[in-house]
Amino acid sequence: MNQAALAQAFQSAQYWLCPQPSDQFPHQHFSVDQAKLKATGWLCTRLGPNPPAVAALLHRHAVSQAQLITACNPQGRPASPTFNRQVMPRLLAALAERDQAWMPAVAMADDGSWCEPGCLLLGTSLALARQWAAEFDQAAWVEYDALGHAHLHWASDTQATRGQECG
Protein backbone atom coordinates (compact mmCIF):
# COMPACT_ATOMS: atom_id res chain seq x y z
CA MET A 1 0.00 0.00 0.00
CA ASN A 2 1.47 3.39 -0.93
CA GLN A 3 1.82 6.22 1.58
CA ALA A 4 -1.18 8.16 0.22
CA ALA A 5 -3.47 5.13 0.60
CA LEU A 6 -2.06 4.43 4.06
CA ALA A 7 -2.57 8.06 5.05
CA GLN A 8 -6.22 7.82 3.98
CA ALA A 9 -6.68 4.60 5.96
CA PHE A 10 -5.14 6.17 9.08
CA GLN A 11 -7.18 9.36 8.61
CA SER A 12 -10.49 7.51 8.39
CA ALA A 13 -9.74 4.94 11.10
CA GLN A 14 -11.09 4.80 14.61
CA TYR A 15 -8.62 4.21 17.42
CA TRP A 16 -10.16 2.66 20.52
CA LEU A 17 -8.34 2.98 23.84
CA CYS A 18 -9.01 0.82 26.87
CA PRO A 19 -9.46 3.20 29.82
CA GLN A 20 -8.16 0.71 32.41
CA PRO A 21 -4.81 -1.04 32.62
CA SER A 22 -5.08 -4.67 31.64
CA ASP A 23 -2.85 -7.70 31.67
CA GLN A 24 -5.02 -9.09 28.90
CA PHE A 25 -3.46 -8.92 25.50
CA PRO A 26 -5.95 -7.86 22.84
CA HIS A 27 -5.74 -11.05 20.72
CA GLN A 28 -9.49 -11.14 20.62
CA HIS A 29 -9.59 -7.70 19.03
CA PHE A 30 -8.96 -8.85 15.48
CA SER A 31 -12.71 -8.75 15.08
CA VAL A 32 -14.79 -6.59 17.38
CA ASP A 33 -17.77 -4.35 17.00
CA GLN A 34 -17.89 -0.73 18.02
CA ALA A 35 -20.98 -1.20 20.19
CA LYS A 36 -19.18 -3.77 22.35
CA LEU A 37 -16.15 -1.52 22.81
CA LYS A 38 -18.35 1.46 23.66
CA ALA A 39 -20.45 -0.58 26.09
CA THR A 40 -17.33 -1.66 27.97
CA GLY A 41 -16.03 1.89 28.35
CA TRP A 42 -13.39 2.04 25.64
CA LEU A 43 -12.68 5.53 24.26
CA CYS A 44 -13.19 6.13 20.53
CA THR A 45 -10.57 8.47 19.08
CA ARG A 46 -9.49 9.69 15.68
CA LEU A 47 -6.58 11.68 14.35
CA GLY A 48 -6.88 15.29 15.50
CA PRO A 49 -8.69 16.62 18.57
CA ASN A 50 -10.43 14.10 20.80
CA PRO A 51 -12.82 14.16 23.77
CA PRO A 52 -11.39 15.41 27.10
CA ALA A 53 -11.48 11.82 28.40
CA VAL A 54 -8.36 11.06 26.34
CA ALA A 55 -6.34 13.83 28.01
CA ALA A 56 -7.77 12.71 31.36
CA LEU A 57 -6.56 9.16 30.67
CA LEU A 58 -3.01 10.41 30.11
CA HIS A 59 -3.21 12.68 33.15
CA ARG A 60 -4.44 9.78 35.31
CA HIS A 61 -1.28 7.89 34.37
CA ALA A 62 0.93 10.97 34.92
CA VAL A 63 2.15 11.09 31.32
CA SER A 64 2.06 13.88 28.76
CA GLN A 65 2.14 11.67 25.69
CA ALA A 66 1.43 8.13 24.58
CA GLN A 67 2.08 6.22 21.38
CA LEU A 68 -0.28 3.69 19.78
CA ILE A 69 1.65 0.98 18.01
CA THR A 70 0.90 -2.46 16.62
CA ALA A 71 2.97 -5.30 15.26
CA CYS A 72 0.27 -6.37 12.79
CA ASN A 73 0.29 -5.82 9.05
CA PRO A 74 3.92 -4.68 8.55
CA GLN A 75 4.28 -1.56 6.40
CA GLY A 76 0.49 -1.38 6.17
CA ARG A 77 0.27 -4.48 3.98
CA PRO A 78 -2.40 -6.95 5.05
CA ALA A 79 -0.76 -9.98 6.65
CA SER A 80 -2.36 -13.32 7.32
CA PRO A 81 -4.37 -13.70 10.53
CA THR A 82 -1.86 -16.36 11.59
CA PHE A 83 1.07 -13.96 11.21
CA ASN A 84 -0.73 -11.19 13.07
CA ARG A 85 -1.69 -13.50 15.93
CA GLN A 86 1.92 -14.67 16.21
CA VAL A 87 3.61 -11.28 16.05
CA MET A 88 1.53 -9.50 18.70
CA PRO A 89 2.80 -11.70 21.55
CA ARG A 90 6.34 -10.80 20.42
CA LEU A 91 5.44 -7.12 20.82
CA LEU A 92 4.05 -7.80 24.29
CA ALA A 93 7.16 -9.73 25.29
CA ALA A 94 9.37 -6.87 24.10
CA LEU A 95 7.29 -4.37 26.08
CA ALA A 96 7.57 -6.51 29.22
CA GLU A 97 11.31 -7.01 28.73
CA ARG A 98 11.80 -3.24 28.61
CA ASP A 99 9.33 -2.57 31.44
CA GLN A 100 7.15 -0.43 29.14
CA ALA A 101 3.77 0.58 30.57
CA TRP A 102 0.96 0.01 28.07
CA MET A 103 -2.79 -0.31 27.72
CA PRO A 104 -4.80 -2.26 25.13
CA ALA A 105 -5.90 -0.44 21.99
CA VAL A 106 -7.67 -1.36 18.77
CA ALA A 107 -7.55 0.36 15.39
CA MET A 108 -10.37 -0.28 12.96
CA ALA A 109 -11.86 0.96 9.72
CA ASP A 110 -15.15 2.84 9.95
CA ASP A 111 -16.74 0.25 7.68
CA GLY A 112 -15.34 -2.66 9.71
CA SER A 113 -13.27 -3.94 6.78
CA TRP A 114 -10.18 -4.24 8.99
CA CYS A 115 -9.39 -4.31 12.67
CA GLU A 116 -6.07 -4.75 14.43
CA PRO A 117 -5.02 -4.83 18.07
CA GLY A 118 -2.36 -2.53 19.37
CA CYS A 119 -0.78 -1.15 22.50
CA LEU A 120 -0.98 2.38 23.86
CA LEU A 121 2.53 2.98 25.20
CA LEU A 122 2.25 5.33 28.16
CA GLY A 123 4.85 8.10 28.45
CA THR A 124 6.88 6.88 25.49
CA SER A 125 8.87 9.48 23.55
CA LEU A 126 8.68 9.93 19.79
CA ALA A 127 12.26 8.66 19.47
CA LEU A 128 11.42 5.45 21.30
CA ALA A 129 8.18 5.05 19.32
CA ARG A 130 10.21 5.34 16.12
CA GLN A 131 12.43 2.51 17.40
CA TRP A 132 9.38 0.36 18.20
CA ALA A 133 7.97 1.06 14.73
CA ALA A 134 11.26 0.05 13.12
CA GLU A 135 11.57 -3.09 15.26
CA PHE A 136 8.11 -4.27 14.19
CA ASP A 137 8.36 -2.99 10.58
CA GLN A 138 5.54 -0.47 10.90
CA ALA A 139 5.02 2.35 8.42
CA ALA A 140 3.51 4.69 11.01
CA TRP A 141 2.05 5.06 14.48
CA VAL A 142 -0.32 7.40 16.31
CA GLU A 143 0.84 9.76 19.07
CA TYR A 144 -1.48 11.28 21.68
CA ASP A 145 -0.33 14.57 23.19
CA ALA A 146 -1.22 15.99 26.62
CA LEU A 147 -4.42 17.52 25.21
CA GLY A 148 -5.52 14.15 23.85
CA HIS A 149 -4.95 15.17 20.24
CA ALA A 150 -3.85 12.31 18.00
CA HIS A 151 -1.08 12.79 15.45
CA LEU A 152 0.10 10.40 12.75
CA HIS A 153 3.86 9.87 12.54
CA TRP A 154 5.56 8.16 9.63
CA ALA A 155 8.41 5.88 10.62
CA SER A 156 10.48 7.29 7.76
CA ASP A 157 9.76 10.95 8.54
CA THR A 158 9.83 13.39 11.44
CA GLN A 159 6.69 15.35 10.58
CA ALA A 160 3.35 14.57 12.19
CA THR A 161 0.09 14.59 10.27
CA ARG A 162 -2.80 16.22 12.08
CA GLY A 163 -6.25 14.81 11.53
CA GLN A 164 -9.77 16.09 11.32
CA GLU A 165 -11.77 16.72 14.45
CA CYS A 166 -13.63 13.66 15.69
CA GLY A 167 -17.31 14.21 15.38
Could you tell me the pLDDT band of residue 98, with boundaries at 50, 70 and 90? very high
Pick the residue with more confidence: 23 or 157?
A: 157
CA distance 40 to 141: 25
Q: Which of 8-12, 37-41, 115-119, 157-161 has the lowest mean pLDDT?
A: 157-161
CA distance 56 to 140: 25
Q: Are 48 and 166 in contact (CB under 8 A)?
A: yes
What does the pLDDT look like over 67-89, one tens digit per residue? 999 999 999 998 998 999 899 99
Please check the confidence at residue 147 and state whether its pLDDT lies above 90.
Answer: yes
Q: Is the pTM of this model over 0.75?
A: yes
What average pLDDT does the segment 105-126 reach? 91
Question: For residue 151, how many C-alpha atoms fall within 13 Å in the half-sphere facing its CB?
Answer: 19
Could you tell me the pLDDT band of residue 93, with boundaries at 50, 70 and 90? very high
Q: Which of 24-28, 31-35, 55-59, 160-164 has the highest mean pLDDT?
A: 55-59
pLDDT at 151: 97
pLDDT at 114: 84
Q: Are 38 and 45 in contact (CB under 8 A)?
A: no
Per DSSP, 83 falls in state: H
pLDDT at 28: 53
Please check the confidence at residue 165 and state whether its pLDDT lies above 50.
Answer: no
For residue 53, CA distances in Å to 19, 42, 150, 158 come to: 9, 10, 13, 27
Pick the residue with more confidence: 62 or 25?
A: 62
CA distance 12 to 59: 26
- Coil, strand or helix at 57: helix
Q: Are 137 and 79 in contact (CB under 8 A)?
A: no
